[in-house]
Amino acid sequence: MKEDDSAIQQNKIDELIKEQKYSALIQLISRKDPQRLKQYSCIKIKNQIFRLKQDVAVCANNNDIYYGKLIKIYCIKDVNDQHVPVIQVQWYYTKQDLNLDKKSMRSISIKELFFSTHVEFLAANKLQCPIEVMTFDQYTQLEYGEETKFFSRAAIDLKTMEPMPRVSEWQKSCVCRMPQNPDIQVIQCETCDEWFHLDCVNLKSEEAEQIENYKCPGCQ
């Protein structure tokens, strides 16, 4: 009977690995054969070292790239004593995931990430590269944008798919009284230090580049 149970368990483990149902797989092994499961603080994939709590880019099954925080690294020994590395990721969401009106969406950058409570188990070979998630102020001080640098100033409410805190609560600027979006060019007033969207103060990009000391409409 024990041999039959063992065979059934081995078949179930093989099935879960093939179907990439890693959450169920880890639960099964933790309960039935915990010696087959080990946790690690780092993992090497594609000649790159990934560490716990690191922000990472992940390639999904549809080859799209998603972003998350690496929160668990497991190594599972299958029934043939082969090692199966598995990770758990807590996801960031992006602009395209948000449920916002057009005006609020204008304040959201394509490089902006929203941390969530959504976690998922994946094959470790889905890891692509480490990324850096900065604060808004840190990101806006970058001289040049980099592919692996992002910023975050809010989490996401998975029920409403809106940022937390809401966009209406973010720091505002310009005559439009909307939050800054680093994707949209702005100019700073030398008198009040406020930032203004070029289109809100009727300036073209080439005109703004020629201005050494800008004064906004309120300070002129």
Six-digit token pair at 78?
A: 């299958």
| pLDDT computed for residue 105 by the predictor | 95
CA distance linking residue 139 with residue 142, whole number of Å = 5
Q: Is the dihedral of CA 124, 41, 157, 151 positive or negative?
A: negative
Options 3.40.980.10, 2.40.50.100, 2.30.30.490, 1.10.10.1100; CATH of 36-169: 2.30.30.490
Of the pLDDT bands very low, low, confident and very high (cuts 50, 70, 90), residue 70 is very high
- Whether the predicted pLDDT of 8 surpasses 60: no
pLDDT tens across 178-217, in order?
Answer: 999 999 999 999 999 999 999 999 999 999 989 989 998 8
In the chain, domain spans = 36-169, 185-220
Give Rg (Cα) of the chain.
24
| pLDDT computed for residue 2 by the predictor | 45
pLDDT tens across 73-114, in order?
Answer: 999 887 677 888 999 999 999 999 999 999 999 999 999 999
Q: Is the dihedral of CA 165, 157, 20, 59 positive or negative?
A: negative
| pLDDT computed for residue 151 by the predictor | 97
Q: Give the DSSP per-residue string, 58-83.
A: EE-TTS-EEEEEEEEEEEEE-TTS-E
pLDDT tens across 20-49, in order?
Answer: 899 998 998 888 888 889 999 999 998 999
| pLDDT computed for residue 4 by the predictor | 45
Average pLDDT over residues 140-156: 92
Average pLDDT over residues 3-24: 75
185-220, what's its fold?
Herpes Virus-1 (3.30.40)
